[in-house]
Amino acid sequence: MWERIKRLVRHRWMDESNRLIAPSVVQRLKQKVAASEVLHTGEIRICVEAGLPNSYLLRPGAMRTITRQRALSQFGKLHVWDTEHNNGVLIYLLLAERTIELVADRGLNPHVTAQKWSDMVQRLGQALREGRFEDGLGQAIDAVSAVLEQHFPLAPGQVRPNELPDQPTLT
């Protein structure tokens, strides 16, 4: 019970606090996503949430599971699943927990094992736990882009439409 109350306070406080992601950082991340997407046919979306809605915080279960559920929800809400090659990836950052989730669409999942995604999340999480959000998100973009380049490279001369916004979503 006490842990749940602490969690609620932490998430509500984070919602009321100043944004930890400055507009200049958002712009640099947008540019990094755009630069990455000229190398492959995939789409990368970034979603940063300060804290979870109460409906998630009051759910039973481990915070890791609840965070994953929220990332999956945002994956659908932001239409990451709605790309021509089904190779979109959501990079989801939850500031209150300093945790990251990667959600890949069905076109990419057969090429990357769940263990590889999990290992990637573990590596990326270190910068986030240390409060280095731009570094952590930059590393995530690089890691996801490398996977997309390997499995969905952009052919020379191929024109690639930008199907999803490059601008990170802050909620």
pTM: 0.92
**Which listed CATH number (3.40.30.10, 3.90.1150.10, 3.10.310.50, 3.40.1000.10) goes with 2-170?**
3.10.310.50
Q: Are 116 and 95 in contact (CB under 8 A)?
A: no
Residue 15: band (very low, low, confident or very high) from pLDDT cuts 50, 70, 90 = low
DSSP characters over 104-161:
E-TTTGGGS-HHHHHHHHHHHHHHHHTT-HHHHHHHHHHHHHHHHHHHSBPPTT----
pLDDT in tens, 92-106: 999 999 889 999 999
pLDDT in tens, 74-129: 999 999 999 999 999 999 999 999 889 999 999 998 999 989 888 888 888 888 88
Residue extents of the structural domains in the chain: 2-170
Name, in order, each residue with C-beta under 8 angstroms of 154's C-beta and a sequence gap of 6 or more. Answer: 38, 39, 40, 41, 160
pLDDT of 1: 67
